[in-house]
């Protein structure tokens, strides 16, 4: 690993990976929430046209890609709001037009070799220039700050757009901001992840995080953690393995998702066996049910005829007898001796 | 021939306590009005049910007041201000009809309720300690304090409704507009929900409840407005409503001729008779 850090281009690639791994899942969680998981993919397609124009005209491809992606972002969001019927088809036309235009224009440029095209499409650790890195760092900081500042509002709009509109939250401007953040992320991630795989780094870490998270804020933290492990790990691995960095990063992210799914699945099964459902209830425990409330770890239990009830997915779980802390361990065995069989209709 | 019930709007429409005032208003989508010629004034402190069968236009009326669809005619004023110039939308608490809350990503009840506070905080949207207290109180009013950090998709249907009510309350609104708060909620939860609404009544919250069944809510109401066929058919107190309904039922029993029911048919096929919907319109 110390070897890796001494190589100049590796340092740059790792810094870029750090930036991308943090920023992509931050923006991605709102795309997942709005069920727009594939929109980043489309913006990547359009960004390729921007890269091509940059290569042909001799301008920095990063800048032209940024301009193309930003224009696409605004047009897409306006189409989504205005066009009621054929918005979906219009998006497809823009996306495929972008990538087809990109491929054709690049072929006319002196740098338009298949190998060069592959680097842009699937990422390469060799392509991050020093000047790019400053721009990426600036853009990443801008994305992270904007997302952090607007997070409550972006969450509200993505959670319930109609409600947000009714209470006067500026829905369209916020959606355009999210589209612009997505486009900017696409460009920042272009070098290391590649234009065809960028969307994966926005979405896959979130897919994994949703398996473990219990709230939106913990979901965001887990997604950033998964994103960082995938992007930095993927770049580090792609050097000794001599593989395209984008593909390596995304495979690592998918691997993390699969492992997380298996682990949470197994844990749920083990937990399910220990899980002991209480008798049917005629009422709902709460402030006014008359049953004493007892804090128990991260939740509240209610003392119901000497044993503890905890709310769980529309029913109540037995959390053992009251005043017997050690009786919780007894739940593994499946039957605590002091559990009453029926207390139906015991509403005080 | 349809009965054109005379507008039974009490008092002066320009009265200071008018929360919502509609004058000859029509609403719809595009240029097709679903609802037309509505005169309705709702005063502070009233608990109004807007009832009618599915497709009657009651949801269109509600969305029109909220500014979520297009107004095709007439005028709407909110708190005495024309709706076009009305920007303090946080004063209106909207409780939409939702079957699931945030199914795409995980979120806790508290996180959802906090979004209701955003309209009251600066554009940065940061909640201060005082705002968090308001959110906590809103959860308390709906009896979900102990579920604040529970992931919302694991809550029951009735509890999710209460999360939505708490979200609206977090904005400290002057009126609550609720869309079918009891639809699809089992009987036990309906009673909990009615208790919650009763607590709000005690706090003098003005409420507009759009519903196709009065059910457990009837005892709370001060006024019932029946919407059918895109128009207001009845507007009066629950007693007047019960009286009008009995009359129609009496007619119905003695004649058994649909065409003789005339406009009263719309009452007969109000929320209590949702199974009979044929022959309602001429």
Ordered structural domains, chain A, with CATH = 2-245 (1.10.3470.10), 275-348 (no CATH)
Q: What is the pLDDT of residue A84?
A: 59
> What does the radius of gyration of chain B's CA atoms come to, in whole angstroms?
19
For chain B, domains (ranges, CATH) are 18-273 (3.40.50.300)
B102 and chain A: CB distance < 8 Å anywhere?
yes
Q: What is the pLDDT of residue B207?
A: 93
Contacts of residue B171 in chain A, CB cutoff 8 Å? 167
Work out the burial of residue B16: count CB atoms within 10 Å of its CB; fewer than 13 is exposed, 13-18 middle, 19 or more buried. Answer: exposed
A197 closest CA partner among A244, A265, A128, A162: A244
Q: What is the pLDDT of residue A295?
A: 67
Residue B184 scores a pLDDT above 90: no
Mean pLDDT, all residues of chain B: 79
Global pTM reads 0.80
- Comparing A305 with A229, the larger pLDDT belongs to A229
ipTM of predicted assembly, 2 dp: 0.79
Across the range A240-260, mean pLDDT stands at: 94
Q: Assign A334 to helix, strand or coil.
A: coil
Q: What is the pLDDT of residue B59?
A: 86
Q: Which is it for the CA torsion B68, B113, A179, A97, positive or negative? A: negative
Contact call for residues B111 and A216 (beta carbons, < 8 A): yes
Q: What is the pLDDT of residue A326?
A: 41
pLDDT in tens, A79-115: 888 765 566 788 888 999 999 999 999 888 887 787 7
Element spanning A68, H or E: helix A61-82
Who among B106, B167, B188 is closest to A282 (CB)?
B188
Residue B229 scores a pLDDT above 90: no
pLDDT in tens, B152-165: 988 888 889 899 99
Q: What is the dihedral of CA A132, A134, A140, A146, to 10 degrees?
A: -130
B202 and chain A: CB distance < 8 Å anywhere?
no
> What does the radius of gyration of chain A's CA atoms come to, in whole angstroms?
26
Who among B94, B98, B127 is closest to A166 (CB)?
B94
- Comparing B182 with B11, the larger pLDDT belongs to B182
Q: Nearest CA to CA, how far is B176 from chain A (Å)? A: 12
Q: What is the pLDDT of residue A76?
A: 87
d(CA B115, CA A86): 32
Q: What is the pLDDT of residue A320?
A: 67
pLDDT in tens, A294-311: 666 666 676 766 667 766
Q: Nearest CA to CA, how far is B144 from chain A (Å)? A: 7
> Which A residues, 135 through 174, put their C-beta within 8 Å of a C-beta on chain B?
149-153, 155-156, 159-160, 162-169
Q: Which is it for the CA torsion A209, A210, A211, A212, positive or negative? A: positive
Q: What is the pLDDT of residue A128?
A: 79
Q: What is the pLDDT of residue A288?
A: 58
Q: How many CA atoms lie within 13 A of B238 on its CB side?
A: 12
Q: What is the pLDDT of residue A185?
A: 95
Contacts of residue A159 in chain B, CB cutoff 8 Å? 102, 107, 112, 115
Cβ count near B256 (within 10 Å): 9
Contacts of residue B189 in chain A, CB cutoff 8 Å? 284
A219 and chain B: CB distance < 8 Å anywhere?
yes
Across the range A260-276, mean pLDDT stands at: 83
Q: What is the pLDDT of residue B217?
A: 82
- Comparing A330 with B25, the larger pLDDT belongs to B25
């Amino acid at each position: 690993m110390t070897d890796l850090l001494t190589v100049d281009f590796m340092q740059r690639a790792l810094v870029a990976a750090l930036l991308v791994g943090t920023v992509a899942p931050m923006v991605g969680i709102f795309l997942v929430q709005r069920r727009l998981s594939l929109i980043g993919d489309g913006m990547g397609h359009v960004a390729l046209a921007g890269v091509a124009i940059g290569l042909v005209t001799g301008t920095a491809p990063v800048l032209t890609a940024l301009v193309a992606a930003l224009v696409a972002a605004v047009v897409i969001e306006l189409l989504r709001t205005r066009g009621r019927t054929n918005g979906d088809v219009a998006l497809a036309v823009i996306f495929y037009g972008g990538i087809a235009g990109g491929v054709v224009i690049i072929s006319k440029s002196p740098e338009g070799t298949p190998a060069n095209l592959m680097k842009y499409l699937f990422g390469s650790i060799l392509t991050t220039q020093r000047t790019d890195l400053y721009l990426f760092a600036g853009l990443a900081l801008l994305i992270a700050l904007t997302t952090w500042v607007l997070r409550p509002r972006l969450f509200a709009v993505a959670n319930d757009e109609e409600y947000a509109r009714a209470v006067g939250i500026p829905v369209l401007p916020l959606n355009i901001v999210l589209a612009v953040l997505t486009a900017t992320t696409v460009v920042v991630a272009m070098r290391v992840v590649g234009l065809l795989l960028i969307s994966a780094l926005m979405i896959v870490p979130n897919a994994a995080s949703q398996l473990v998270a219990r709230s939106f804020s913990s979901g965001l933290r887990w997604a950033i953690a998964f994103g960082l492990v995938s992007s930095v790990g993927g770049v580090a691995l792609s050097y000794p393995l001599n593989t395209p960095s984008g593909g390596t990063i995304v495979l690592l992210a998918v691997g993390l998702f699969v492992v997380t799914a298996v682990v949470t699945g197994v844990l749920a099964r083990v937990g399910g066996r220990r899980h002991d459902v209480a008798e049917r209830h005629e009422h709902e425990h709460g402030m006014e049910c008359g049953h004493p409330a007892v804090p128990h770890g991260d939740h509240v239990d209610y003392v119901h005829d000497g044993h503890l009830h905890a709310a769980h997915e529309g029913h109540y779980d037995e959390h053992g007898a009251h005043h017997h802390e050690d009786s919780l361990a007894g739940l593994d065995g499946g039957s605590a001796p002091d559990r009453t069989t029926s207390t139906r209709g015991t509403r005080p | 021939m349809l009965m054109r019930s005379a507008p039974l709007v009490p008092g002066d429409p320009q009265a200071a306590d008018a929360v919502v005032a509609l004058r000859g208003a029509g609403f719809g989508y595009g240029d097709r009005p679903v609802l037309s010629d509505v005169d309705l004034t709702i005063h502070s402190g009233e608990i109004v049910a807007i009832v009618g069968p599915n497709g009657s236009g009651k949801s269109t009326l509600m969305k029109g007041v909220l500014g979520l669809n297009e107004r095709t005619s007439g005028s709407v004023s909110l708190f005495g201000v024309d709706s076009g110039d009305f920007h303090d939308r946080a004063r209106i608490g909207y409780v939409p009809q939702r079957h699931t809350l945030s199914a795409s990503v995980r979120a806790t009840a508290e996180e959802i309720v906090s979004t209701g506070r955003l309209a009251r905080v600066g554009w940065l949207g940061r909640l201060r300690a005082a705002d968090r207290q308001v959110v906590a109180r809103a959860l308390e009013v709906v009896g979900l304090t102990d579920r604040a950090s529970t992931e919302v998709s694991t809550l029951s249907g009735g509890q999710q409704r209460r999360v939505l009510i708490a979200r609206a309350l977090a904005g400290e609104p002057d009126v609550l507009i609720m869309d079918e708060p009891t639809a699809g909620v089992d009987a036990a939860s309906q009673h909990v929900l009615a208790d919650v609404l009763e607590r709000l009544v005690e706090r003098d919250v003005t409420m507009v409840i759009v519903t196709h069944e009065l059910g457990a809510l009837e005892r709370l109401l001060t006024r019932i407005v029946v919407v059918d066929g895109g128009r207001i058919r009845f507007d009066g107190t629950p007693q007047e409503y019960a009286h009008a309904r009995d009359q129609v039922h009496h007619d119905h029993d003695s004649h058994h001729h649909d065409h003789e029911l005339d406009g009263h048919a719309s009452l007969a096929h109000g929320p209590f008779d949702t199974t009979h919907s044929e022959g309602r319109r001429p």
